[in-house]
A = this chain, B = another copy of it.
Amino acid sequence: MDKKQIPYKIYLSENELPREWYNLRADMQNKPAPLLDPATHKPITADALSTVFCDEAIRQELDDTTRFFKIPDIIRDFYKMYRPAPLIRAYCLEEKLGTPAKIYYKFEGNNTSGSHKLNSAIAQAYYAKMQGLKGVTTETGAGQWGTALSMACAYLGLDCKVYMVKVSYEQKPHRREVMKTYGATVTPSPSPDTVVGRKILAAHPGTSGSLGCAISEAVEVATNTDGYRYVLGSVLNQVMLHQSVIGLETKTALDKYGEKADIVIGCAGGGSNLGGLIAPFMGEKLRGEADYRFVAVEPASCPSLTRGRYAYDYCDTGMVCPLAKMYTLGSGFIPAPHHSGGLRYHGMNTTLSALYDQGLMEAVSVKQTEVFEAAVEFARVEGILPAPESSHAIKVAIDEALKCKETGEEKTIVFGLTGTGYFDMLAYGKYNDGLLTDYAPTDEEIEKGFAGMPNIE
């Protein structure tokens, strides 16, 4: 097919918006290990989770056999405000690199939350609303998830309490104001409002907070407040389920133009965007219908897949959440300062962890300065200013395209551009001024993180 016959941006019609989410676990022969009850170390029951999560969310979380879940009409209507998201052919980047490879990226940043997070936020808020709840609680680090949830809650008329990691609360006042504009209550974490928060404040006065701590606070408030439940923006399998719209749309768009991906690349924090992007492609691979290479890209400063351990671990600092078998650096691992707040989680979604363990997916870690270099190169030719998180995928997509330049291979590279970097200009400013540095934990620091893990086989 003539290069230019494929448009710059492939927009599906609203009719082509997926009607069902795809549950990749249903096609896995070796399922991800179940979540365990933190008290008994037995597989967790729906009942035990019901004070924390909404009922439908639990059903989706625990179901590893149903292949498709219908997307409710109200959620689908909400999706129509910003979806289908474009699959963009990176013509300008290809030309700049002089590569024979074809590069596509699925752009999830064209909405006010600035990222893919909205796909799951609206689903989780909807189920809370359907259950007759008053509101939801959550944590947010960089702020994308908190923003997305605030938007979803404003739309449905649901109360929204966000615990925002204190360092982000202070350094990202703009994010905070977006959430408040959408009617959310935003509290810096750790806060004196919760037992967990008070404990941490007493032990570490002046702490700038962590995602694990903010999770514990949000969970505590949800379980102790009538009519509230907790929602989470990544890591969980229900989130990956909702994010499958990314991959489903991507596949439909490629199929429409007779294109087949050779490599699918995504940045990996908790894993939901990566999982959502690769889901339908991985499904084909699992069913033996097609083959693809999958590459998870993580920051060198928080390398859960490439340097972590595959074991049961705590999901939060307060150890109140279920235990998950995943690639993890230990819930006590504190990643060095790094400007991709969305990739600073110590663990990885259990499904992706299982796939990686089974050799079905590759992983690579990259340094922050080379990520910003790729981001700027991309921005200058493709126009879009990418989020630092998303730029991890850009970096590896460029590397793969340059390999094709050497070998002359005309591979089709697809990557997920999860969001925009408008709220990351402090980091870009540092990069522009040559002040950005690289961090990677030492082996000792990695070992220290492992030390606090539970011992469960």
Chain A interface residues (CB < 8 Å from chain B)? 7-9, 11, 13-14, 77, 80-82, 92, 110-112, 114, 151, 154-155, 173-175, 177-178, 180-183, 376, 379-385, 420, 422-423, 425-426, 428-429, 431-432
* Residues of B contacting A13 in the complex (Cβ-Cβ under 8 angstroms): 7
A177 adjacent to B429 (CB under 8 Å): yes
A383 adjacent to B422 (CB under 8 Å): no
Name which residue of chain B comes closest to A172, CB basis: B425
Closest Cβ–Cβ distance, residue A257 to chain B (whole Å): 13
A112 adjacent to B82 (CB under 8 Å): no
* Residues of B contacting A110 in the complex (Cβ-Cβ under 8 angstroms): 110
* Residues of B contacting A381 in the complex (Cβ-Cβ under 8 angstroms): 154-155
Contacts A110-B110, A112-B420; is A178 near B425 (CB within 8 Å)? Answer: yes
**Which of A11, A82, A173, A385 has most chain B Cβ within 10 Å?**
A385
The complex is assembled from copies of this chain, and their number is 2
Q: How far is the CA of A154 from the CA of B92 in the complex (A)?
A: 12
Q: How far is the CA of A420 from the CA of B114 in the complex (A)?
A: 11
Q: How far is the CA of A151 from the CA of B177 in the complex (A)?
A: 27
* Residues of B contacting A178 in the complex (Cβ-Cβ under 8 angstroms): 385, 422, 425, 428
Pairs of residues from A and B, 4 with the lowest C-beta to C-beta distance, nearest first: A174-B425, A8-B80, A154-B380, A177-B429
Closest Cβ–Cβ distance, residue A382 to chain B (whole Å): 7
Q: How far is the CA of A385 from the CA of B183 in the complex (A)?
A: 13
* Residues of B contacting A8 in the complex (Cβ-Cβ under 8 angstroms): 14, 77, 80-81
* Residues of B contacting A425 in the complex (Cβ-Cβ under 8 angstroms): 173-175, 177-178
B432 adjacent to A174 (CB under 8 Å): no
* Residues of B contacting A432 in the complex (Cβ-Cβ under 8 angstroms): 177, 180-181
Name which residue of chain B comes closest to A79, CB basis: B8
Contacts A422-B174, A425-B173; is A379 near B9 (CB within 8 Å)? Answer: no
Q: How far is the CA of A341 from the CA of B388 in the complex (A)?
A: 28
B155 adjacent to A380 (CB under 8 Å): yes
A383 adjacent to B177 (CB under 8 Å): no
